[in-house]
Amino acid sequence: MKILKFGGTSVGSVESIKAVLSIVKESYDAGEKPLVVLSAMSGITNLLTKMAEDAAEGKPFAEDLKLMEEKHFEVVKKLIAVKFQNPVLTRLKLLINELEDLLQGVTALKELSNQSKDLIISYGERCSNYLVSKVMEQEIPESEYINASYYIKTDSNFGNAHLNEPLTNQLIQALSQTHADKLLFVTGFIGSNEKGRITTLGRGGSDYTAAIFGSVLNATAIEIWTDVNGMLTADPRIVKKAFSLPLLSYTEAMELSYFGAKVIYPPTMVPAFMKKIPIIIRNTFQPKFSGTVIQFESGKSAYPIKGISSISEVSVINLTGSGMVGKSGFSGRLFTLLAREQINVILITQSSSEHSITFAVNPNDSQKAVELIQNEFELELLANKLSMPVVEGDLSILAIVGENMKRTPGMSGKLFHALGRNGINVRAIAQGSSEFNISVIINKEDLSKALNAVHDAFFAELKKTLHVFNIGTGNIGSTLFSQLNKQHDFLEEQNDIEIKVVGISNSRRMYFNEDGIDLNSWKEELENDGEVADLATFISKMQEMNLPNCVFIDNTASKLPSTYYENIFQSNISIVTCNKIANSGDYSQYRLLHETARKHGVDFFYETNVGAGLPIVRVLKDLMMSGDRLLKIEAILSGTISYIFNNFKGDASFYDVVKKAQELGFTEPDPRDDLGGIDFMRKMLILGRDAGYPIESSDVELGNILPESCLQANSVDEFYAELLKADDYFNNLKREAEEQGKVIRYIGSLENGKVSISLQMVDESHPFYALSGSDNIISFTTERYKERPLVVKGPGAGAEVTAAGVFADLVNVGA
Ligand SMILES: NC(=O)c1ccc[n+]([C@@H]2O[C@H](COP(=O)([O-])OP(=O)(O)OC[C@H]3O[C@@H](n4cnc5c(N)ncnc54)[C@H](O)[C@@H]3O)[C@@H](O)[C@H]2O)c1
Ligand SMILES: N[C@@H](CCO)C(=O)O
Ligand code: NA
């Protein structure tokens, strides 16, 4: 049997509960006889604590209680069939009423004991497990809710109760016999004392519940389902290149968690360790990803260390004294004293002269530690055998961890070389006697740099390999492939960059090859060895493959891919795209995507969204980042319309010129996007947003170049048919311009956050008069470029220049 434990975020919302249900069902259907342990819905434990504390202070709690009720009721209403809802709502309501009575009691007594607090908090797990068991019951009738406080027996240390192992073993054994054919949903975190009063198990309590049940029932595995892809080589918020670890030993997991990685709280796992039951950390939101297995043996690994962890804030206390420090008995007295007062000593180093001891503690404990030392060693201080303790703050700890370190010489050399070369000063060093970890204390301001440098030293290969998943194999996609193919050797030899295209999809077929798809024959491979395309599958397959330096390229014109961008960033994958849809939809989406990419330390590059390969997005970004302020943009950003008005001369018919623009690959897949101004508008929106204005498409004043009949066309064919009939309309426009010695230009402007695009007739004196071919032109007037604006001009559409722009974005990923 297997234990499946889901944390609060996994049962945090209707959507996540659906994911939980399908994971449980899959396991059940596979005959794994799972036992499910659930935490409270995310946010509920904190809310319960707050209500309890508020009640004790006589503050109102009714609104919070209502919030809790609504959060649970919403799940019932969305996930339970109407005819089964009533009993579930009634029982939940009863639980909430009980809770309300308790809170009123606390209000009346103006006092909150630890015992009452545990009881109040227990409602979080009781509600979530009852609720989810009822939702599951619709599909698996054997589902049953179990209140674990009847089975996990503890002492009366409320808030952090200790297990009564023999009794708990008996009770759980008995439960498993009476409920052998049930699918149990067991409340995490709670137990009860010998009088049956509810207790809680302290930090990481639900994991502990899972470990206790797993150990008593001899589970084959304990799966801890959370919201990250297992344990990583380093904190991904700081180290972009961090990747998830397939395998760790218990010891390594302990060491990594001790210094930072908060995925599990190892002390809670001890029951599982004792029985050598593997613990598997998995991601509820990416269930196909295999996660991190934590087991007895460390296993083989390509790298000499498993990971790098850190504590970002520590204080260090230095003790020196010729007659004292280092003498036997001194450190014994010192550390017994600190332990007795519950001060956690994170790391200890001792100089070889043995005249000094340095140890690190949580900054909140440093003052207390100093006072304790002053009291304990008063006589020694008076006699000058010991100097006054000196505290240093603003320090961090970095540790490299791995069991194989012991067998690999030169590990500390490599560590110090990486730190030294990057100018990072090491304040103290400690190697655990087990040699499973080497820790260094450094200045806090160096931590991020140090983590990245050390990660590079231990994990990076010399050559950067980019793993590319590309969707869209039309005009741009196929041109990109032939450019990549041509440049392959040059990039590798001259720039140490290898680009491996490992996944390709168009709207019909998709194909993967982890070793890299041969770009001479991608078409045939896609056709013959590929499968029927499905974007959701393509993306989850990409995430499952979990390759380092992974880039998703969107070379489609479709909206669908943009709905996955957030999820892609969340799995630490960068995106390069020429597709403008994501950036030009709702402003809120634009913000969300940029923030998500930033938060996950990945790149979001879209130079070709504006002016194809011309450096426009980058130029604006550089201006903004260097503190310039945009005053005005004036631009022609439709390559298609530019081409059309530059070639609509003499006898040429407007219709023929448009057809030609499409043939030349300037137009969007649907040319109405170009001629209707939508494509231009998207570009202006993107620039405006990049310049800091929260504009929506409805804010844009969009002038029109087409007669009504063309605007009304329902299909591309109908559009061309109407265009053919509209010759007179365009000839009149042309004549009018020619008579005044002018040319027709479709010009966009952005000033004070207002965007407008309009058809204008301009004469020789206008800077946009002399434009040719499919050229785009943009002039940026800024605080610095005020007298003479910064102008970028050149071909702004076409497959070659666009693919080249995507290519340039690609090689800059991770740079
Ligand atoms: N032509 C240019 O000069 C230029 C310049 C800059 C940007 N762009 C942008 O390039 C993009 C592509 O243009 P194109 O001319 O190559 O288009 P295209 O019609 O030639 O190709 C589009 C490709 O996308 C694929 N596709 C569509 N939906 C898909 C899905 N859901 N999953 C997988 N594949 C899907 C299609 O099968 C096709 O292979 C557009 O977003 C366009 O705005 C074009
Ligand atoms: N269709 C677009 C391509 C460049 O984004 C244009 O004509 O400008
Ligand atoms: Na560009």
Tens digit of each residue's pLDDT (9 = 90 or more) over 95-126: 999 999 999 999 999 999 999 999 999 999 99
Distance 31 CA to ligand 3 centre (A): 55
**Stated length of the chain:** 815
Which ligand has the nearest atom to the CA of 606?
A: 3
> Is the pLDDT score of 738 beyond 70?
yes
**pLDDT value of residue 749:** 98
**pLDDT value of residue 578:** 98
Give, in order, the Cα–Cα distances in Å from 122 to each of 106, 338, 808. 16, 33, 55
Distance 610 CA to ligand 2 centre (A): 8
477 Cα nearest atom in ligand 1:
16
Which ligand has the nearest atom to the CA of 801?
A: 1
- How far apart CA 175 and CA 169 sit, in angstroms, is 10
| Rounded average pLDDT over 316-343 | 83
Instruction: Name the residue of 643, 666, 673, 685 whose CB sits within 8 Å of the most ligand 2 atoms, as the mutation to test its pocket.
Output: 666
Residue of 2, 500, 683, 734 marked active site: 683
| Rounded average pLDDT over 801-807 | 96
- How far apart CA 214 and CA 277 sit, in angstroms, is 8
Distance 639 CA to ligand 2 centre (A): 5
Q: What is the pLDDT of residues 275-315, one digit of tens each?
A: 999 999 999 999 989 899 999 887 777 788 999 989 889 99
Distance 775 CA to ligand 2 centre (A): 10
In the structure, ligand 3 is a single-atom ion and the residues with CB under 5 Å from it are 607, 610-611, 614, 616
5 lines ligand 1 (CB under 6 A): no
Distance 512 CA to ligand 3 centre (A): 29
Per-residue confidence band for 326, with pLDDT thresholds at 50, 70 and 90 = low
Q: What is the pLDDT of residues 227-245, one digit of tens each?
A: 888 888 998 888 877 888 8
Instruction: Name the residue of 531, 539, 540, 555 whose CB sits within 8 Å of the most ligand 1 atoms, as the mutation to test its pocket.
Output: 555
**pLDDT value of residue 255:** 82
747 lines ligand 1 (CB under 6 A): no
Distance 795 CA to ligand 3 centre (A): 10
Give the DSSP H/E element, type plus range, for residue 108.
helix 82-109
> Is the pLDDT score of 372 beyond 80?
yes
For residues 523 and 325, the model is more confident at 523
Domains observed in the chain: 2-227 (3.40.1160.10), 307-458 (3.30.2130.10), 464-610 (3.40.50.720), 616-797 (3.30.360.10)
Q: Could you tell me the strand order of the sheet in which 247-249 lies?
A: 143-146, 183-187, 35-38, 2-6, 221-226, 279-283, 292-295, 247-249
Q: What is the pLDDT of residues 142-173, one digit of tens each?
A: 999 999 999 999 999 999 999 999 999 999 99
Shortest-distance Cα residue to atom 23 of ligand 1: 472
797 Cα nearest atom in ligand 1:
3
406 is catalytic: no
Shortest-distance Cα residue to atom 2 of ligand 2: 667
Q: Which position has the token pair 């054919």?
A: 181
Instruction: Name the residue of 509, 522, 556, 641 whose CB sits within 8 Å of the most ligand 1 atoms, as the mutation to test its pocket.
Output: 556
Distance 684 CA to ligand 2 centre (A): 12
Q: What is the pLDDT of residues 694-703, one digit of tens each?
A: 999 999 999 9
> Is the pLDDT score of 352 beyond 90?
no
638 Cα nearest atom in ligand 2:
8
Instruction: Name the residue of 475, 579, 640 whose CB sits within 8 Å of the most ligand 2 atoms, as the mutation to test its pocket.
Output: 640
| Rounded average pLDDT over 70-98 | 97
Q: Output the six-digit token pair for 28.
A: 């059940």
756 lines ligand 1 (CB under 6 A): no
- How far apart CA 168 and CA 184 sit, in angstroms, is 17
What is the percentage of the chain residues whose pLDDT exceeds 90?
A: 73
Give, in order, the Cα–Cα distances in Å from 373 to each of 329, 345, 567. 15, 14, 51
> Is the pLDDT score of 433 beyond 70?
no
**pLDDT value of residue 519:** 97
474 lines ligand 1 (CB under 6 A): yes
Distance 671 CA to ligand 2 centre (A): 9
**pLDDT value of residue 269:** 84
Per-residue confidence band for 22, with pLDDT thresholds at 50, 70 and 90 = very high
**pLDDT value of residue 602:** 86
Give the DSSP H/E element, type plus range, for residue 569.
helix 565-570
578 lines ligand 1 (CB under 6 A): yes
Q: What is the pLDDT of residues 749-778, one digit of tens each?
A: 999 999 999 999 999 999 899 999 999 999
- Phi/psi for 514 (5° steps) reads -60, -25
667 Cα nearest atom in ligand 2:
1
665 Cα nearest atom in ligand 1:
1
Give, in order, the Cα–Cα distances in Å from 297 to each of 233, 276, 301, 573. 18, 9, 12, 31
798 Cα nearest atom in ligand 1:
3
Distance 338 CA to ligand 3 centre (A): 61
581 Cα nearest atom in ligand 1:
41
572 lines ligand 1 (CB under 6 A): no
- Among candidate residues 135, 157, 153, the one with its CA nearest the CA of residue 144: 135
Instruction: Name the residue of 469, 475, 505, 776 whose CB sits within 8 Å of the most ligand 1 atoms, as the mutation to test its pocket.
Output: 475
Q: Which of 34-48, 294-308, 563-577 has the lowest mean pLDDT?
A: 294-308
Q: Which of 21-30, 190-199, 540-549 has the lowest mean pLDDT?
A: 540-549
CB 221 within 8 A of CB 280: yes
- How far apart CA 706 and CA 640 sit, in angstroms, is 14
349 lines ligand 1 (CB under 6 A): no
- Among candidate residues 203, 205, 208, 264, the one with its CA nearest the CA of residue 232: 264
- Phi/psi for 419 (5° steps) reads -70, -45
Instruction: Name the residue of 583, 667, 673 whose CB sits within 8 Å of the most ligand 2 atoms, as the mutation to test its pocket.
Output: 667
Q: Which of 197-206, 291-300, 801-810 has the lowest mean pLDDT?
A: 291-300
Distance 285 CA to ligand 3 centre (A): 35
610 Cα nearest atom in ligand 2:
5
Give DSSP secondary structure letters for 180-220.
TT-EEEEESSEEE-TT--EEE--TTHHHHHHHHHHHHTT-S
Per-residue confidence band for 405, with pLDDT thresholds at 50, 70 and 90 = confident
Q: What is the pLDDT of residues 443-493, one digit of tens each?
A: 998 898 899 889 988 887 656 678 899 999 999 999 999 999 999 888 877
Q: What is the pLDDT of residues 591-636, one digit of tens each?
A: 999 999 998 778 999 999 999 999 999 999 989 988 999 999 999 9
Distance 797 CA to ligand 3 centre (A): 9
| Rounded average pLDDT over 567-572 | 89
Q: Which residues contact 486 (CB under 8 A, 6 or more apart)?
A: none
Per-residue confidence band for 355, with pLDDT thresholds at 50, 70 and 90 = confident
Q: Which residues contact 805 (CB under 8 A, 6 or more apart)?
A: 578, 607, 608, 612, 613, 614
Give, in order, the Cα–Cα distances in Å from 135 to each of 69, 71, 87, 190. 17, 15, 12, 22
612 lines ligand 1 (CB under 6 A): yes
**pLDDT value of residue 416:** 86
Q: Which of 255-259, 588-592, 712-716 has the lowest mean pLDDT?
A: 255-259
Per-residue confidence band for 69, with pLDDT thresholds at 50, 70 and 90 = very high
579 lines ligand 1 (CB under 6 A): yes
- Residues within a 6 A CB radius of ligand 2: 612, 638-640, 666-668, 674, 679, 796-797
> Is the pLDDT score of 261 beyond 60?
no
422 lines ligand 1 (CB under 6 A): no
Q: What is the pLDDT of residues 646-659, one digit of tens each?
A: 999 989 999 999 99
> Is the pLDDT score of 260 beyond 70?
no
Give, in order, the Cα–Cα distances in Å from 26 to each of 39, 78, 287. 20, 21, 11
Shortest-distance Cα residue to atom 4 of ligand 2: 797
Distance 708 CA to ligand 1 centre (A): 27
613 lines ligand 1 (CB under 6 A): no
Asked whether this complex has an ipTM greater than 0.95, the answer is: yes
661 Cα nearest atom in ligand 2:
7
505 lines ligand 1 (CB under 6 A): yes
**pLDDT value of residue 262:** 66
646 lines ligand 1 (CB under 6 A): no
When the pLDDT of each residue in the chain is averaged and rounded to a whole number, the result is 92
561 Cα nearest atom in ligand 1:
31
